[in-house]
């Protein structure tokens, strides 16, 4: 009777919803599922953040509509965090915009700059909202393959000349989800030069910048000369402080670009609940030893899972960042079939790589979001079927 829009029909099913359906069905059957699928931290939010929320909730002043621009105290806390972490000076009033999680900002961003027929340069495989936001804005997606042979970096030289001239935005995400790849300084310098020559806005998603191991410290693209002319960077408290459900993120960078996103958001939402913003301030200003402890925890899990999988002949390197392993499917089996086999025969949930895009085929993604005892149990199960 009712027909949905053409844009909605262009969107693929959201991968994580499909995985969740299969997971719930298996659990309803009484099966003991080890979930290495969705990247949702299994550890609690720090106590000092929860305490700040409880205090803020008791203040009736925080029940009113929040400012679209975010509370000044949150913007200043973000600026101070960027200065400590990246030695970058950001103007809290013009260069920082709090978001209801970075996902909504990333998905809404194309509405600010994409007209029908304009291209967006999107990595493949990628976090699905990159493509979805472009499609809903009426733009065209040009895929940039992330290939193992090129260290999962896009080959900018292979983008056709006419596509470059019609492109308005380019997405990059390092440390990368799903491939766990990290960008080199040389690549970032090349990217900025490419974007300047072609008048393209760079959208840099650095949600995993604090989830790094073995002394590696990911950089912000805004650290590089000339970046502020054309970069908007997205970040989030989700992975840093185990706050995925709290929905606090931000965009920062070029003030004109940030202002355009702010205009979109002012017509769509009414800002983050003020009490949650104040909890975000507590997270950013609080004891950062929590982040170090979190990285040590994931590094231990990484080492156990990587070593175990390698002992089974899977052949993978330890990632320097993120809490994902990006693993070739054995025998070139397609990723959906292999993930289905893991669930059916081993009661293990893994994410099929093709769900992140056509160039994710031949891989599965496993997340380090279960404790080490469950990881060891997963390895025992995998040994029985491989």
pLDDT score, position 262: 96
The CATH number given to 6-44+289-385 is 3.90.1150.10
CA nearest to 98, candidates 287, 286, 261: 261
pLDDT digits (tens, 9 = 90+) for 214-239: 999 999 999 999 999 999 999 999 99
Decide: helix, strand or coil at residue 292. helix
Pair 253, 78: CB distance under 8 Å: no
Tell me which residue has tokens 């330890």.
318
Confidence of residue 15 (pLDDT cuts 50, 70, 90): low
CA nearest to 374, candidates 33, 76, 73, 22: 33
> How many residues are listed for the chain in this entry?
386
pLDDT digits (tens, 9 = 90+) for 288-328: 899 999 999 999 999 999 999 999 989 898 999 999 999 99
Tell me which residue has tokens 């929905």.
247
pLDDT digits (tens, 9 = 90+) for 318-375: 999 999 999 999 877 899 899 989 999 999 999 999 999 999 999 999 999 999 999 9
pTM of the model: 0.94
Using a 10 angstrom Cβ sphere, with 0-12 exposed, 13-18 middle and 19 or more buried, the burial of residue 106 is: buried
Q: How far apart are CA 179 and CA 198, in angstroms?
A: 27
- The two tokens of residue 305 are 């899972």
pLDDT digits (tens, 9 = 90+) for 67-80: 778 999 999 999 99
pLDDT digits (tens, 9 = 90+) for 91-124: 999 999 999 999 999 999 999 999 999 999 999 9
Give CATH 3.90.1150.10 domain extents, the chain. 6-44+289-385
**Is the pLDDT score of 155 beyond 70?**
yes
**Is the pLDDT score of 2 beyond 90?**
no
Give the architecture (CATH level 2) of 48-285: 3-Layer(aba) Sandwich (3.40)
Using a 10 angstrom Cβ sphere, with 0-12 exposed, 13-18 middle and 19 or more buried, the burial of residue 297 is: middle
Give CATH 3.40.640.10 domain extents, the chain. 48-285
In percent, the amount of the chain with pLDDT more than 70 equals 99
**Is the pLDDT score of 7 beyond 90?**
no
pLDDT score, position 102: 95
């Amino acid at each position: 009777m009712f027909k949905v829009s053409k844009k909605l029909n262009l969107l693929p099913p959201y991968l994580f919803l499909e995985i969740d359906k299969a997971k719930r069905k298996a659990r309803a059957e009484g099966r003991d599922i080890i979930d290495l699928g969705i990247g949702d931290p299994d550890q609690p939010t720090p106590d000092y953040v929860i305490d700040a929320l409880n205090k803020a909730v008791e203040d009736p002043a925080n029940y009113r509509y929040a400012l679209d621009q975010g509370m000044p105290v949150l913007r200043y806390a973000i600026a101070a965090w960027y200065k400590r972490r990246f030695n970058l000076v950001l103007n809290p009033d013009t260069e920082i915009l709090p978001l209801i999680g970075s996902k909504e900002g990333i998905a809404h961003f194309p509405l600010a700059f994409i007209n029908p027929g304009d291209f967006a340069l999107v990595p493949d495989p990628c976090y699905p909202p990159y493509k979805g936001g472009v499609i809903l804005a009426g733009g065209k997606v040009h895929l940039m393959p992330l290939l193992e042979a090129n260290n999962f970096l896009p080959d900018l030289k292979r983008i056709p000349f006419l596509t470059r001239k019609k492109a308005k935005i380019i997405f990059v995400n390092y440390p990368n989800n799903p491939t766990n790849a990290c960008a080199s300084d040389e690549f970032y310098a090349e990217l900025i030069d490419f974007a300047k020559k072609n008048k393209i806005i760079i959208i840099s998603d650095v949600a995993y910048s604090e989830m790094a191991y073995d002394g590696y410290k990911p950089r912000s693209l805004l650290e590089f000369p000339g970046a502020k002319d054309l970069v908007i960077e997205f970040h989030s408290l989700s992975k840093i402080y185990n706050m995925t459900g709290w929905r606090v993120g931000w965009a920062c960078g070029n003030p004109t670009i940030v202002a355009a996103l702010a205009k979109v958001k002012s017509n769509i939402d009414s800002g983050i609940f003020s009490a949650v913003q104040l909890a975000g301030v507590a997270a950013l200003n609080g004891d950062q030893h929590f982040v170090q402890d979190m990285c040590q925890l994931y590094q231990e899990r990484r080492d156990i899972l990587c070593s175990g999988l390698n002992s089974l002949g899977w052949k993978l390197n330890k990632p320097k960042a993120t809490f994902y392993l990006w693993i070739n499917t054995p025998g070139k089996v397609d990723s959906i079939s292999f993930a289905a086999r893991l669930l059916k025969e081993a009661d293990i949930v893994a994410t099929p790589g093709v769900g992140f895009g056509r160039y994710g085929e031949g891989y599965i993604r496993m997340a380090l979001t279960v404790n080490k005892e469950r990881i060891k149990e997963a390895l025992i199960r995998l040994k029985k079927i491989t």
